[in-house]
Structure 1
Amino acid sequence: MNNRLAVSLIAAALLIPGAAFAQSTTAQGAAEGAARGGDAAGPVGAIVGGTVGAAVGAAVEIPNAIITGLPRDHSVVIQERVVVGEPLPPTVELRTVPQHTEYRYAVVNDRRVIVEPRTRRVVKIID
């Protein structure tokens, strides 16, 4: 298998379980990505995996000061289980995360969650 194809396959394989990395920090994402990439394709895979894992981990590193400042009011009750990587139903109102407009948040079943607005997928459950 040529290196370009191997790198592409590794990157794709690491992005699929992005939900698992979503709860991680950059360092944890890099370590987990390197381990998975190394298992899949050796040293080249470890490099690609570490890079992808770090990027995914960094994507949800919203400072604690902002997270703790997100209000808990207007909780919506839904029957579906709230799970990282799964979308919220369209009936759940998404609000902008202050200073991180690329994300939205919602209060669902008395839990604050960070959401990717385009797909409505939960990327982090705060509490």
Structure 2
Amino acid sequence: MRSHVLSSALLLTLAAIPLAGCQTGAATGAAGGAVAGAVVGGPIGAAVGGVAGAAAGGILTAEESTRVRTYVVSQRRPSMQVTEEVVVGRPLPGRVRAYPIPSNVGLQNSYHYTVVNDQTVLVDPQTRQVVEIID
């Protein structure tokens, strides 16, 4: 059984190497999480690790994050202090104002941003859910 788990982990590792070289964000996180999960928990660990890795990988490329950060700094919005924990997947408190990111920043999707507890936060404008914490 142990050799089966190790061979599964090796197979997933070899499959993930090309993915890690050409993809960023959630895809790379998913591949890395799947490999780590397979080593620890076999095929079920690979599935769980892949989902967790995708969530941790983020949705912006490094270049997009830099463009968003540059834009946010140029806007000089004050940081809103909240006691609630700001977490990816949770909606922002209603009192926090989110601002649109213009299309000339070059993101593939339409997001809003805000600065909360001195962190730049990317927000889905329809649900107000935090989709990424940039800083």
| TM-score for both structures, normalised by structure 2 | 0.52
Q: Distance in 2 between matches of 1:95 and 1:65?
A: 17
**Count of aligned residue pairs for this structure pair:** 103
5+ residue gaps in structure 2? 1-24
Residue 60 of structure 1 deviates from its aligned partner by 3.3
5+ residue gaps in structure 1? 1-23
1:113 is matched with 121
The one of 99, 104, 107 aligned to 2:106: 99
Counterpart AA for 1:73: R
The 3 A distance-change label for structure 1 pair 118 and 57 is: farther
2:13 is matched with none
Matched, 1:61 2:43: no
1:28 is matched with 29
Residue 68 of structure 1 deviates from its aligned partner by 2.5
> Aligned Cα RMSD in Å?
3.6
Residue 115 of structure 1 deviates from its aligned partner by 1.2
Q: Distance in 2 between matches of 1:115 and 1:104?
A: 5
Q: Is the 8 A contact 1:60 1:123 kept in 2?
A: no
Percent of paired sites with the same residue = 38
Residue 32 of structure 1 deviates from its aligned partner by 2.7
Matched, 1:126 2:126: no
Q: Is the 8 A contact 1:113 1:122 kept in 2?
A: yes
Q: Is the 8 A contact 2:88 2:132 kept in 1?
A: yes
Structure with greater Cα Rg: 2
| TM-score for both structures, normalised by structure 1 | 0.55
Q: Distance in 1 between matches of 2:111 and 2:98?
A: 9
Runs of 4+ in 1 over 4 A off after TM superposition: 33-37
Residue 58 of structure 1 deviates from its aligned partner by 7.0
Higher strand share: 1
Q: Is the 8 A contact 2:123 2:129 kept in 1?
A: yes
Residue 25 of structure 1 deviates from its aligned partner by 4.1
Counterpart AA for 2:96: V
Relative contact order, CA 8 A, sep 6+: which one is greater? 1
